[in-house]
């Protein structure tokens, strides 16, 4: 996997891109185990938690959103990530979409100087301010948090 991520001016960004891909793969593996085990999510008003399929879509859509947001804030070209597949039927589309998503994540930040990752901070879509480095870390943690949630629901 890391051999597919080109060198970056800021190796910290490259490392986080690699970690993001790794943890997205781990999340998907755990999500599939949970789905096969018949795990149901706790009741909530949050539409991202209506079902296992909506949770999967939430994680994929967020991953798309993070890289698009970072490129917008850094005034880089749109990375060209396709829209996330709808929840209905997402199971069958996931592998192809993830391959596409990872490809689009691997290089947009490669030529960004390290200084631009820490300053300034930008408002996120949920009204929290992040520098680019913090958003990269957030993107890595997002699938970890949901994987942890699923492991807990499976009693692990």
pLDDT at 6: 95
Q: Is residue 1's pLDDT more than 70?
A: no
pLDDT for res 55: 97
pLDDT band at 156 (very low <50, low <70, confident <90, very high): confident
Alpha-carbon gap, residue 156 to 154, rounded angstroms:
6
Question: pLDDT per residue over 91-119, tens digit each?
Answer: 889 999 999 999 999 999 999 999 999 98
Pair of tokens at residue 38? 């018949």
Q: How many residues does the chain have?
A: 156
- Across 86-106, b (16+ Cβ under 10 Å) vs e yields ebeebeeebeebbeebbebbb
The answer, as to whether pTM is greater than 0.85, is: yes
- Number of neighbours of residue 9 by Cβ within 10 angstroms: 15
Residue 152 has pLDDT above 90, yes or no: yes
pLDDT in tens, 39-62: 999 999 999 999 999 999 999 999
pLDDT in tens, 10-38: 999 999 999 999 999 999 999 999 999 99
pLDDT for the residue numbered 138: 97
CA 103/CA 106 separation, integer angstroms = 6
What is the tens place of the pLDDT at every residue in 113-149?
Answer: 999 999 899 989 888 999 999 999 999 999 999 999 9
Cα–Cα distances (Å) from 30 to 27, 44, 50, 54, 133, in that order, read 5, 21, 18, 15, 27
Q: End-to-end CA distance of the chain: give it in Å, rounded.
A: 27
């Amino acid at each position: 996997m890391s051999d597919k991520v080109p060198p970056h001016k800021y190796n910290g960004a490259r490392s986080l891109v690699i970690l993001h891909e790794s943890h997205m793969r781990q999340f998907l593996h755990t999500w599939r185990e949970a789905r096969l085990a018949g795990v149901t999510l706790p009741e909530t008003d949050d539409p991202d938690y209506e079902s296992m399929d909506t949770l999967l879509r939430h994680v994929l859509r967020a991953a798309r959103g993070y890289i698009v947001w970072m490129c917008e804030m850094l005034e880089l070209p749109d990375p060209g990530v396709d829209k996330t597949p709808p929840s209905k039927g997402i199971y069958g589309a996931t592998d192809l979409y993830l391959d596409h998503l990872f490809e689009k994540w691997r290089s947009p930040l490669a030529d960004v100087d390290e200084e631009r990752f820490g300053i300034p901070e930008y408002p996120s879509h949920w009204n929290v301010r992040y520098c680019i480095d913090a958003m990269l870390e957030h993107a890595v943690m997002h699938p970890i948090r949901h994987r942890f949630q699923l492991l807990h629901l499976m009693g692990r």
